[in-house]
Amino acid sequence: MKILILGAGGFVGSNLVEHLVAEGKHEIVGVDISDEKLAGVDGSSFEFVKADVSQSNGLLENLIAETDVVADLIAYANPSIYIESPLDVIRLNFIENVKTVQLCVDHGKRLFQYSTSEVYGKPSGDAYVEDASDLVVGPINRQRWVYASSKQLLERVIHAHGLRGDLDYTIVRPFNFVGPRFDYLVPAGTTGGPRAFSHFMSALLTGGPIYLVDGGGQRRSFTHIDDASMAFSVLLEHPEAGNRAFNVGNPANDTSIRELVSLMMEIYEELTGERPANELVEIAGEEFYGAGYEDTNRVVPDISAIRSLGWEPQHDLETTFRETMRSYLGATVGSAIG
């Protein structure tokens, strides 16, 4: 089988490519604007195409026409961008991705669309269930929800094609994937920017302040990237279970952001022998990210659907973060942050 991975140079994409190349079952074509995170990933079954498919006339259609399965991971996934550039988020996360959906329809290709757990928005039950939970987001002037809304509308377009019978698809809703190659770190003391791990790891490496947005009481369920990559393989092997969304997460790894900071500080001391002395600073969400920010105290994912196909997460919370942090500790501060 030939698999096209759009966004192969990102965190999820690069780990997925490495996983599939190691399996050795398929021919893989990866596309992205950078292959930096694919360093060391090589094999006769893997081809990388360096390109911005939104700017390359005809390239995307040719690639899709020549493949069997398309995995679309292209997205902006950064809260600061949601706040500062909501139109760019809509353009990339919805408009550009709809073009991929239409090309899969035109050429009869199976689509794996990576969405987000954020489509659920604010809690509406004890656990997020794919085909039962309400999708509730904040008001228009809280543009932080533009990411969730763009992804949700994309899912609805895909579902509508499935109802019409002209698209075979699987929607993946990731719950906080973490692992090696996760994010680029940021200068100590930076506000906004990438996800919590990047800020916390940067602070531990440099001794800078650790910001707890809105006190750090928000809860997240973290998933090891290796478990996430294996989930793709399981879903790929079960096309009969397609034309629906699947939560991919680890309910057992539920923790608050404040508790995560404590865990990362313990792991840092374990791995380096140095006791962190970072200052914990509570900061309002709008001060950290900008006006229009809002967050949610998420509940855990229900993963019954993908469990029924034989997938089960294997990495506990401590192992997940120990392996992720170890991948950064081999670099010097100067090379790790930029």
CB-based contact 145:294 (threshold 8 Å): yes
Q: Which residues pair with 301 in a beta bridge?
A: 128
Helix axes 317-329, 196-206, angle to 10 degrees: 50
* Residue owning tokens 């919805």: 94
Strand blocks (E) in the chain: 2-6, 27-32, 46-50, 69-72, 110-114, 127-128, 169-174, 177-178, 210-213, 219-221, 223-224, 245-248, 254-256, 280-283, 300-301
Residue 169 annotated among the catalytic residues of the structure: no
**Catalytic position from the list 147, 169, 211, 328:** 147
Extract the tokens encoding 232. Answer: 């793709």
CB burial of 207-245 (b: ≥16 within 10 Å; e: otherwise) equals ebebbbbbebebbbbbbbbbbbbbbbbbbbebeeebbeb
R_g (Cα) of the chain, nearest Å: 19
- Can you tell me the distance from the alpha carbon of 327 to that of 205, in angstroms, rounded to the nearest whole number? 13
CB-based contact 125:135 (threshold 8 Å): no
> Which residues form the catalytic set?
147
